[in-house]
Each structure stands twice: as C-alpha cells, then as structure tokens.
Amino acid sequence: LAKNSLNQTLVSKIFTAKDIRNGTDSSEAAQVEYLELFSTATKKHFGSFSMNIYEMFEIFTQKGDGASLTAYVSAIKPHIADLLIITVPPQWQTFHLQLLNLWEKKFSAYSVILNGDDDPLRSFMAYNVIADIGKGNDDLQSTLNDLIQQLQ
C-alpha cells in the first residue's frame, strides 16, 4: 500500500488502452513493424547516451553534475510521444501500456530527483521508487523476450 501511494504521489499520468493506437492486425508482419518502430524510437531518443541511468545517478549524487541525467529526462516525453503514435498489435498492447507507464514513472521520479532542493520529501520518495523502476525494467525485458520468442 505504501509503495502504491508513493507511485501515485509521483506519477501524474497513467496510460490506458484508450491512449494507445490499438491495432487489430496480429500478423507476424504487423508485429515486426511494431518492433522496428519501437526500436527506432528508442534509438532516436536514447541511442546517444554513453552511460546507463545508474551511472548518471552516481555522477549526479556524488559530483553534483546533473547534465546527463537532465538530458535523459528531457528525452523521455518525446519518446513517450513517439510510442503513442505507433499502432500496436493486439498481443503487444499490454506490454506497450506497461512500457508507457514505466516511462511516465521514470519521468516523474527522475524529474523530482533532479529538482530535489525544491521538495526534499518528494525527492526521498522518488529515490524509493527507483527500485520499483529497476524491477519494472527487468519485468518488461522478460516480457519482451517472451513475446519475441513467440514471434520466432
């Protein structure tokens, strides 16, 4: 219950099926197209980063340098916008919604952390959500691997 309260306090938008382009084509070609568009969007927004998010946090917390983390956070909303215009095959819709909601959670938590001086309590709560974000990443990667496996 406490973790849900933390998540709800930090996240301003929860995506639902009404927010995405629900496709009806479940063919292999539609799924491959979805994966290609998803991959293109990810590379477009995050392909230039030379370090992972944990390294960005380390630099931010230990050296006070938030440039990389700020750039990462700035890329999230355009990435979400690109994900929202992709037509999603039926078997990928749950994954896609989970992905969008995870990105929204990342945006909210990381933004709060970057602006921690404004509200130390919200910043503390955001740091506590990072473990959930990591688990969400792992869970989505597993789901993605399973869906790709089914496609082959």
Q: Closest Cα partner for 72 from 58, 59, 53, 54?
A: 53
**7 or 122: whose pLDDT is higher?**
122
* Cα gap 97→90, rounded to integer Å: 12
- How much is the pLDDT for 94? 97
* pLDDT above 80 for 107: yes
* pLDDT tens per residue, range 115-142: 876 777 888 888 888 889 999 999 999 9
For position 30, what pLDDT does the model report? 97
pLDDT at 6: 47
At residue 17, does pLDDT exceed 70?
A: yes
pLDDT at residue 18, as a whole number: 97
Dihedrals phi, psi of 110, to nearest 5 degrees? -65, -35
Secondary structure letter of residue 27 according to DSSP: S
Q: Is the pLDDT of residue 8 over 70?
A: no
Largest Cα–Cα distance in the chain? 50
Give tens-digit pLDDT for 37-66. Answer: 999 999 999 999 999 998 999 999 899 999
Closest CA to 42 of 83, 71, 90: 83
pLDDT at 120: 79
| Number of neighbouring beta carbons within 10 Å of residue 75 | 17
For residue 88, what are the β-bridge partners?
22
Q: Is the pLDDT of residue 20 over 90?
A: yes
State the chain's mean pLDDT as an integer: 90
Q: Are 96 and 17 in contact (CB under 8 A)?
A: no
In the chain, alpha helices (H):
2-10, 28-46, 53-63, 67-84, 93-114, 120-151
Q: What is the DSSP string of 76-115?
A: HHHHHHHHHTSEE-GGGHHHHHHHHHHHHHHHHHHHHHHT
Range with the lowest mean pLDDT among 17-21, 90-94, 112-116, 143-147?
112-116
- Interval 107-120 mean pLDDT: 85
